[in-house]
Amino acid sequence: MTKILSISDHIDKINENSVVVVRVDFNVPLNHSKIGWRVANDERIKASLPTIQLVSQRGAKVVLISHLGRPKSDKDKHLSLEPVAKYLTEKLHIPVRFVPDLIGQKAHQAIMEAKSGDVLLLENLRFFQEEKANDQEFSKKLASLGNLYVNEAFSASHRAHASVVGITKYLPSFAGIRLTEEISILNNLIDKPKKPFVLIIGGAKISDKVGMLKYLASKADLILVGGACANTFLKAEGLEIYRSRVEEIDAENKNAFVKLAKELITQVKTEKVLKDNYIPLPKLLFPFDVLAGRKIDEKNRDKVKKIALHTNMKDEEENEPWMYLDIGPKTRQLYAELIAQAETVFWNGPMGVWENPLFATGTRTIARAIVQSRAHSVVGGGDTIAAAHHFHLDRKFSFVSIAGGAALEYLSGKTLPGIKPLIKFTPN
């Protein structure tokens, strides 16, 4: 059994003499307007507030550190964290002092002058190349900002960077409240999901998802595949996909993912699930009908074609530039009926190009089926959450993971470099 060292279980270690360095993920989308840069989506900021408040209420000085975007150097001033500090103060009523420095004299001075319970936000970690290099000296300098460290940036914890890995060598290190919660929710999916456990995978890039798919294949009772990821499986089954989006790694390894898909299909071949307690279905399902268009931004409904997929379809449709852009009505219906029987659902990846209303029905149907079922539902992935939000369903899931790619890596069975230092091993 692994247990995370959560700050809420060790709160007695924090008092008025503490200076707590909290690594947050304030890498939020910023919009430029006449009045300057504004925060466009604040989910990750909000998720860190309970930890910030807890530490501040204990009387400690709170030193927030984060990255923002991909600056080439500290000359990329538009990637300053200053607008985020303003946002925290004005919108979320957390008075935050922004310090335009990270490890220099100015930062140390500001921390020294701060009063008990004050919150400071320092400048973008990635203004320093040493952050991504997990540089030892830089890590030490970050550690010298305080006397205790809290990681509240799960979404950055799959990268071995100084602010999530290096720093933990030099300070007592704990997990933030939200990070602890995310890990516990994901651990439940891995260790003891209530059965039937239905895994729903879609979206664009199978490369992001294949690790999780392989790891969870034996734990899930049913795997429903959609989106461009499904095209990989269709190809593996020898079905025609025309010009549909399908991911290949590179010229040499052209069919690596198709091979992987084939392996997965074979791996679970003998396992069946019973629909309505008597209809046997394969455990791994991909679409048997699709909505196809000639272009992603097709606006004319009459030009969208329903295609039933079967092995000898090439002849009749030869040279057609079809792209499969959503799961078809029959697939949609079957998936929804199967989701209704679930007790646990994990969903990552839209079923189609939901940004175009003509190809949004698959994703909307699946989102609705999940929230209407009695299942404990966990949803993750930036685009999946955006789609769910678009359909006004995002508040209805049991848990929305904001950890992005880090959650997918965690669900691949990996010990993430930033999580490892926060784990306490307890005997079974």
In angstroms, what is the C-alpha Rg of the chain? 24
Kindly name the residue from 305, 405, 414, 420 that is annotated as catalytic: 405
Binding mask of the shown chain, residues 334 to 373, with x at each position contacting Mg ion by CB under 5 A? ----------------------------------------
d(CA 243, CA 27): 35
Q: Is 396 in the site for ligand ADP (CB under 6 A)?
A: no
Q: Give me 168's structure tokens.
A: 């933990």
Identity of the residue, 24 or 228, whose beta carbon is nearer to ligand ADP in the bound complex:
228
Q: Give the CA diameter of the chain.
A: 76
Window of 10-18, 140-148, 181-189, 348-356 that interacts with ligand ADP by CB under 6 A:
348-356
Which residues are CB-neighbours of 276 under 8 A, at least 6 positions away? 341
| 205 among known catalytic residues | yes
Kindly name the residue from 205, 262, 294, 368 that is annotated as catalytic: 205
Q: Give me 25's structure tokens.
A: 């993920």
Other beta carbons less than 10 A from residue 339's beta carbon: 26
d(CA 249, CA 399): 32
- 330 near 291, Cβ under 8 Å? no
Which among ligand ADP, Mg ion, none contacts residue 205 (Cβ within 5 to 8 A by kind)?
A: ligand ADP
Q: Is 405 in the site for Mg ion (CB under 5 A)?
A: no
Q: Is 348 in the site for ligand ADP (CB under 6 A)?
A: yes
Nearest distance, CB of residue 242 and ligand ADP, angstroms: 12
d(CA 205, CA 248): 9
Q: By rule CB under 6 A, what count of residues binds ligand ADP? A: 19
| 405 among known catalytic residues | yes
- 69 near 75, Cβ under 8 Å? no
**DSSP3 helix / strand / coil % (the chain, rounded to 5):** 40, 20, 40
Q: Is 241 in the site for ligand ADP (CB under 6 A)?
A: no
Q: Give me 371's structure tokens.
A: 């929230």
For residue 427, give the 3-state DSSP assignment: coil
Q: Is 383 in the site for Mg ion (CB under 5 A)?
A: yes
Identity of the residue, 153 or 408, whose beta carbon is nearer to ligand ADP in the bound complex:
408
> Looking at 52, 325, 388, 411, which residue binds ligand ADP (CB under 6 A)?
325
Sheet with 289-293, strands from edge to edge, namely 305-308, 289-293, 323-327
- Tell me the pairing of strands 222-225 and 272-275: unpaired
What is the torsional sign of CA 160, 164, 167, 169? negative
Kindly name the residue from 382, 396, 414, 420 that is annotated as catalytic: 382
Q: Is 304 in the site for ligand ADP (CB under 6 A)?
A: no
Which among Mg ion, ligand ADP, none contacts residue 353 (Cβ within 5 to 8 A by kind)?
A: ligand ADP
Applying the rule CB under 6 A, the residues between 175 and 204 that interact with ligand ADP are 203-204
- Give, as one character, the DSSP assignment of residue 115: P
Identity of the residue, 100 or 382, whose beta carbon is nearer to ligand ADP in the bound complex:
382
d(CA 331, CA 269): 19
- Give, as one character, the DSSP assignment of residue 133: T
| 44 among known catalytic residues | yes
Q: Is 382 in the site for Mg ion (CB under 5 A)?
A: yes
Identity of the residue, 27 or 139, whose beta carbon is nearer to Mg ion in the bound complex:
27
Binding mask of the shown chain, residues 242 to 271, with x at each position contacting ligand ADP by CB under 6 A? ---x--------------------------
| 70 among known catalytic residues | no
The residues of the shown chain that bind ligand ADP, judged by CB under 6 A, are 203-205, 208, 227-228, 245, 324-325, 348-350, 352-353, 355, 381-384
Catalytic residues: 44, 205, 382, 405
